[in-house]
Amino acid sequence: MTEGQEAAAAAVEAAAEAAGNWARAGRHAGIAGAAIGVVAAGAAAGVAIERMTVGRGMRRRARLALDAAGPYGTLRGTPGAAIAEDGTELYYEVDEPGPEPGGAEKDERTAKGAKSAKNGKGDRSAKPVRGKEARAAQEAHSGLRKRLTAALGRRATAPTVVFSHGYCLSQDSWHFQRSALRGTVRTVHWDQRSHGRSSRGHGQIDGTEEVTIDLLGRDLKAVLDAAVPEGPIVLVGHSMGGMTVMALADQFPEFVAERVVGVALIGTSAGRLSEVTYGLPSMGMKAFHWLAPGVLKALGWQHEIVERGRRATADLFAGLIKRYSFGTPEKVDPGIARFGERLIEATPIDVVAEFFPAFAVHDKTESLVAYDAVPALVLAGESDLITPADHSRTIAEVLPDAELVCVPEAGHLVMLERPELVNEHLVSLVERASAAARSSRHARA
């Protein structure tokens, strides 16, 4: 047997083992188990082909190189913890206005990363942004900061901007936006329960409470009470984070009316998620919505086996993540694509299973009116397969004075795919919200 044949045989054997792990995880799920078997077979074929063409060690080294290449997800603030109603510890970080040690150097690296994301080199040999492009990126970054500083005026009326991340992500998904606002305005970044650095949900561990969007809204209220006990607030939410912001308004309308002076809803939905096709044909879409909850529940029961399967089929999942995260994955900088992949990989399969059913029953269209009186930004990628842009257009119909931005060729992780554009609109929102906060303060005086 030749060396190439041995490599191929080893690849098929390893892929078959991965498929077996997935299949064993699905045996207790009835008809859902059959679906897992089909997915496992496809995963095995994909892994076998990948491993016959590129060595496993080489692929691993490539991932490690990409992980080390950029500053993505490295920004840290002053840590804190809020306690949810069921005792779950919710981790957050606060960035205060003013310079930080090494801040200029970090911001320059992040500005270069944002420029790289915009230019989107689709090959792994793409060189770092240098010279004129680097200076242009840094000047744009500096320009946003100057605009914010001028708009905020007196610190007493400056709002705190609170970021809520999406499903299977963490606060680090706001890396570029955090950098753009860093040092000029107070920001709070928190991890949803069972995500990032927050604790696993106590109610989910002991089985006393299922995850709902309303529960996440109450979690956000706990974070706001702990991290922003006074002063105006701008709420920014992506995907599930946007739904969390809606749930806050639904349950605490008086708080929103008194404290919230601006809102950004990015790549999110107010409801009807059970109708999303995920880019599948009609029959495939119906099968997915029918089978997915049972499949994920079965996988959650067998999470140790499944996690081994996820690691073994990492290449297949990387392709799926790119397809559903970015509108034009071939144009996204490889380091940013890997960063998005790493964020999603970090979410355990049992957490994925716990949260998924909440989206089918999510409906917060009526609660949106609570934000009709404040400056609002509704932004989505036109190629978003998870929360399609039409859902953002529906939100904008309820908030007629909101700025609606639909970004051509951008996908679900639009804040990573098109960071400079998102930053520009976010800074504009904070400017408008700051002006509104000053006007409101003067009116009450």
Largest CA distance in the chain: 86
pLDDT at 387 over 50: yes
Whole-number Å distance between alpha carbons of 417 and 337: 9
CB neighbours of 166 closer than 8 A, spacing ≥ 6?
173, 238, 239, 240, 241, 242, 267, 268
Find where tokens 């001028």 sit: 150
Predicted pLDDT of residue 159: 96
- What does the radius of gyration of the chain's CA atoms come to, in whole angstroms? 22
Measuring CA to CA, which residue among 297, 304, 352, 305 is closest to residue 30?
297
pLDDT at residue 422 tops 90: yes
Residue 101 CA to residue 90 CA, distance in Å, equals: 27
Beta strand extents in 239-393 (DSSP E only): 260-266, 376-381
State the pLDDT at residue 350. 86
**Residue 315: predicted pLDDT:** 56
* Percent of residues, the chain, with pLDDT higher than 70: 62
**194 conformational bin, left if phi > 0, alpha if psi -120 to 50, beta if neither:** left
Higher-pLDDT residue of 276 and 193 is 193
Lowest mean pLDDT among 12-21, 100-109, 281-290: 12-21
- Residues 6 or more apart in contact with residue 219 via CB below 8 angstroms: 82, 84, 88, 90, 192, 193, 244
Tell me the mean pLDDT in the region 435-441. 76
Cβ burial 30-46 (10 Å sphere, 16+ → b, else e): eebbebbeebbeebbeb
Q: What is the mean pLDDT of the chain?
A: 78
Report pLDDT for 345: 87
Q: What mean pLDDT do residues 102-128 have?
A: 53
Dihedral sign (CA 119, 122, 126, 128): positive
* pLDDT average, residue stretch 79-99: 96
- CB contact at 8 A, 286 and 30: no
Out of 21-25, 215-219, 299-303, the most confident range is 215-219
Contact 43, 19 (CB under 8 A): yes
Tokens at 162, concatenated:
């609170």
pLDDT of 119 strictly over 60: no
Read off the amino acid at residue 204: Q
Write down the pLDDT at residue 436.
Answer: 82
Burial bucket for residue 205 (CB in 10 Å: 0-12, 13-18, 19+): middle
Closest CA to 405 of 424, 432, 431, 386: 424
pLDDT tens-digit map of 29-46: 443 444 444 444 444 444
Query: Is residue 211 very low, low, confident or very high in pLDDT (cuts 50, 70, 90)?
Result: very high
Do 430 and 151 meet the contact criterion of CB atoms below 8 Å apart?
yes
* Least trusted range by pLDDT, from 33-37, 311-315, 327-331: 33-37
pLDDT of residue 444: 52
Residue 275 binned pLDDT confidence (cut-offs 50, 70, 90): confident
